[in-house]
Structure 1
Amino acid sequence: MRGKVGLVIGLGVGYVLGTRAGRERYEQIKLQAEKVWNLPPVQEQVGKVQDAAKSALMALPTAVWNSAVKVTRATTGSSRTPGERLDAGLDAAQDAADDVAAAAEAAAADVKKRVGSVDDATDGK
């Protein structure tokens, strides 16, 4: 479905940019595109994609917060020398970056999975 949509968009953009029909034809194309965009089935799919993205991205602030706490705990404490605290902080920061990256990848995979199911649902219509 994404390939089909991309092809149609590409053809439309190429036509609009390459045509010499002028502003009137551009306005006609723009009006038709707005009509299609505002169709209830299209807006339903847009809503599904937005909801999927929002729910998947809600996990990121938790991962960032937990990572910040790990780094803070690793760099504080008077029982270690400043060099040991720095080393511990760097190690914790690397682990935290890996955790945030993993959370972001999981969120992206979740959105991609949900968007794929939206594509599958529209292919059957």
Structure 2
Amino acid sequence: MGKLSFLIGVGAGYVLGARAGKQRYEQIKTQANKVWENPSVQNKVGDVTDQVKSKAPAARSAAESAATKAATKVGLKDSSSDTGASDAPTAATDLSGRSRP
């Protein structure tokens, strides 16, 4: 996967940065489409898509847990009550807690 990412990056960099003209751009675009439509590339894309879909719920849960933990740590959420209230600044105050004019 590392080599593929590198090649994609090189190709994108060349296309975006080159001054080779429209004809060369079209050649690169055609080659990129051939690679993308290659059955082995599409099989890998399918494999990666399936892995992402199967791991997405666990990743979401981990992210939510980490966000809650971080918010509690910095005092944005009172962990002793589950009222949904927050000590986060309101629209009438800035981050220091002072009222805005």
List structure 1 segments (4+ residues) > 6 angstroms apart after TM superposition.
none
In the superposition, the TM-score normalised over structure 2's length comes to: 0.53
The Cα offsets for residues 24-72 of structure 1, whole Å up to 9 and x where unpaired, read as: 21111111101101111000010011101111113467x59xx8xxxxx
Q: Would you tell me which structure has more helix in proportion to its own residues? A: 1
Indicate whether 1:89 and 2:88 are aligned.
no
> Residue type of the partner of 1:16?
V
Unaligned runs of 5+ in 2: 66-77, 83-101
The one-character-per-residue Cα deviations of 1:53-111 (angstroms, maximum 9, x if unpaired) are 111113467x59xx8xxxxxxxxxxxxxxxxxx66226xxxxxxxxxxxxxxxxxxxxx
SS in 1 for 2:81: helix
Matched AA of 1:88: S
Query: Normalising by the residue count of structure 1, what TM-score does the alignment of the two structures yield?
Result: 0.44
RMSD of aligned Cα (Å): 2.7
Extract unaligned runs of 5+ from structure 1.
68-85, 91-125
- Residue 56 of structure 2 corresponds to 57
Partner residue, 2:27: 28
